[in-house]
Homo-oligomer: A and B are copies of this chain.
Amino acid sequence: MEAQGSTFIGFDDSFEESKAVLFGVPFDGTTSFKPGTRFAPSAMREDSWGLESYSPYQDKDLEDLKLFDYGNLEVPFGDKKKALRMIQEMTQEIIDAGKIPVMIGGEHLVSLGPVKALSKKYEDLHIIHFDAHTDLRKDYLGESLSHATVLRRIYDQVGDGKINQFCIRSGLKEEFEWAKEHVHLEKFTYTTLEQRVETLINKPVYITVDLDVFDPSVFPGTGTPEPGGIDFHDMLEIISILGRLQNVVGLDVVELSPKYDASGVSTAVACKTLRELVLATIK
């Protein structure tokens, strides 16, 4: 009787006919400070119904795409390796069926799952990454698998020169130093995005958006607010540039922690970012 909230708005086709498959990963098992990203996928599905499926920015409508919402993975808390394995298998299933995975986290560590599956299929996989934090630590509090190390673990999969980071505004000095040798890291802004996208137009690209790339005035719903980020108009411009990519093979939005923003604004920002990203890159 009341289907609102059980799927993300516009994701109402069947798995078989779909071009892209959405799944949620309610996992925040390595979050050391303030947990809560586990609540993001359900919150986003529910509040997406306050949005239109039509984008006046792109003059496109989610209803015109074939999109399926798989629901959430039931990942075990307290076993990050098993959680990552489940995510990787889910991704494998989707790409085996010739579809594009679209993931809602959860904490940023979950991004390692799709990358592991996709980097097997695409030898030349490139990463475009938006974040407040470098996430390039070798390990964090003695653990190699963590939200603070996830891009370093992704680097272990894809290798030198494949990771492109934008808008980074926090990290250890040694992370910034290490980055100079191994990845493309732009601090604070995304002025080099356009040029990077040009070189990747037809390459297989995975896009990962840690939503704390937004300024906390725009997006307070995060466990680690870091002032100095981008605003929503910046994100629209970023997405407009990303829309030129011809081979986006997967994408995710992660790190919404909806309970830290009772007004619902952060969830709305996350939903609209996902709507615009999907409309721009799923072709």
Q: Is the CB of A269 within 8 A of B2?
A: no
| Residues of chain B contacted by A2 (CB below 8 angstroms) | 42, 71-72, 74
Whether A76 pairs with B143 at a CB distance below 8 angstroms is: yes
Give the residue of B170, B226, B261 whose beta carbon is less than 8 angstroms from that of A263.
B261
Q: Does A168 lie within 8 Å of B1, measured CB to CB? A: no
Q: Does A159 contact B (CB under 8 A)?
A: no
Question: A266-283 interface mask toward B, CB cutoff 8 Å, 1 = contact, 0 = none?
Answer: 001100110000000000
Taking the nearest CB of chain B, how far is it from the CB of A92, in angstroms?
Answer: 17
A54 interface residue per 8 A CB criterion? yes
CB within 8 Å for A227 and B232 given contacts A71-B1, A260-B264: yes
Q: Mark A26-61, 1 if CB is under 8 A from B, else 0.
A: 001111110110100010000000111010110101
State which residues 171-211 of A face B: CB under 8 Å.
171-173, 176, 187-188
Query: Interface stretch among A116-124, A149-157, A216-224?
Result: A216-224
Partner of A228, one of B5, B168, B232: B232
Partner of A268, one of B32, B143, B171, B216: B216
Number of copies: 6
Interface status of A160 (Cβ within 8 A of chain B): no
Contact B225 A236 (CB under 8 A): no
Q: How far is the CB of A32 from chain B (nearest CB, A)?
A: 6
Contact across chains for A226 and B78 when beta carbons are under 8 A apart: no
**How far is the CB of A89 from the nearest CB of chain B, in Å?**
14
CA distance A269 to B35 in the complex (A): 21
Q: Does A215 contact B (CB under 8 A)?
A: yes
CB distance from A224 to the nearest CB of B (A): 5
Q: Which residues of B contact A228 (CB under 8 A)?
A: 57, 232-233, 236, 272
Nearest chain B residue, comparing its CB with the CB of A264: B225
Judged by a CB distance under 8 angstroms, whether A231 is at the interface is: yes
Are A56 and B236 also in contact (CB < 8 A) when A228-B272, A265-B220 are? no
Which A235-283 residues have C-beta < 8 A from chain B?
236, 260-265, 268-269, 272-273
Measured between beta carbons, the chain B residues less than 8 angstroms from A233 are 228
- Give A57 Cβ to nearest chain B Cβ, in Å: 8
A-B contacts, 5 listed (Cβ < 8 Å): A1-B74, A56-B170, A215-B218, A217-B231, A227-B272
